[in-house]
Amino acid sequence: MTREAVLEGILFAMGTSVERDQLAEAMEITPEEVEACAAALKASYEEGDRGIRLLRLDNAYQLCSAEGCYDTLIKLASRPKQPVLTDVVRETLAIIAYKQPVTKGDIERIRGVSSDHAVNRLVEFGLVEEKGRLNAPGRPILFGTTEEFLRRFQIEGCDVLPELDADQLAEIEAQVESETAKAEATEREQQEMVQVEI
């Protein structure tokens, strides 16, 4: 039996995502070989026009049905609907995804409004989870995204989150940087302004 076949059988039977390193240990090959093997299997699904797909989720792999089967599948099986994300919630998720690990305070500073509710919803949906606590007064909770987040947005890993269009991003990034320098100056200024107002 080829390694690809063994990997396929394992991922099929396990159903859940399986860590690369666990696979390496069980298959008695190196993690790099597991990666190569997974890549080959993934390609064979896509190129062979199969009904299965292989997803990489950070350092784990999982099989799922191909999107094209869904219309037929749904006639046979009922499926709980995915929770719908409102703009507020998705915006909060974007901040958590790109800046993780973050505290609720960080998110509030960026959004300018309280984010308690949105963060709670995300935790409830299983898209966000606690990742520890910040070593700061009050020891605020640090939030980050879950594997379910990767599945839902079909992202291979947190390190390969899609960037904005190169143009958009470059523009914004550059501005944010230069503005930050200015902001520090402004802060000092604001303090003075407060004094003036008093």
Partner 1 sequence: MEYNFKLDNFEGPLDLLLHLIEKNKVDIYDIPIALITEQYLEAIHAMPEKNLEEMSEFLIMAATLLDIKAKMLLPREEEEVEEGDPRAELVARLLEYKKYKLLSAELRQMEEGSDRLVYRKQDLPQEVAKYKPPVDLDGLLKNETAEKLRRIFDEIMKRHLDRTDEVHSHFGEIEREAVQIGDRLDYVKEKVRRPGRHSFRSLLGRAATKLEIVITFLAILELIKTGDIRLTEDSTRDDFTLEDNAA
Instruction: Report 24-43 residues binding partner 1 (CB under 8 A).
Output: none
Specify the residue, 112 or 135, whose C-beta has the smaller distance to partner 1.
Answer: 112
Specify the residue, 78 or 191, whose C-beta has the smaller distance to a second copy.
Answer: 78
Which of the choices a second copy, partner 1, none does residue 168 contact, using the CB cut-off of 5 to 8 A by kind?
partner 1
Closest approach, Cβ 42 to a second copy, in A, equals: 14
Closest approach, Cβ 163 to partner 1, in A, equals: 8
Contact 48, 39 (CB under 8 A): no
- Say how far apart CA 141 and CA 51 lie, in whole Å: 41
Q: Look at phi and psi of residue 182 and say left if phi exceeds 0, alpha if psi is from -120 to 50, else beta.
A: alpha
* Window 101 to 140, contacts with partner 1 (CB under 8 A): 109-114, 124-127
* Window 133 to 172, contacts with partner 1 (CB under 8 A): 148, 151-155, 161-164, 168-169, 171-172
Contact 45, 64 (CB under 8 A): no
- CB neighbours of residue 38 within 10 Å: 22
From the number of C-beta atoms within 10 Å of its C-beta (0-12, 13-18, 19+), residue 30 rates as exposed
Radius of gyration of the chain (CA): 22
Specify the residue, 27 or 85, whose C-beta has the smaller distance to a second copy.
Answer: 27
Binding string, 46-85, against a second copy, x = CB under 8 A? ---xxxx----------xxxx-xx--xx-xxx--------
For residue 179, what are its two tokens?
Answer: 């503005």
Q: If binding is defined by CB under 8 A, does position 79 make contact with partner 1?
A: yes
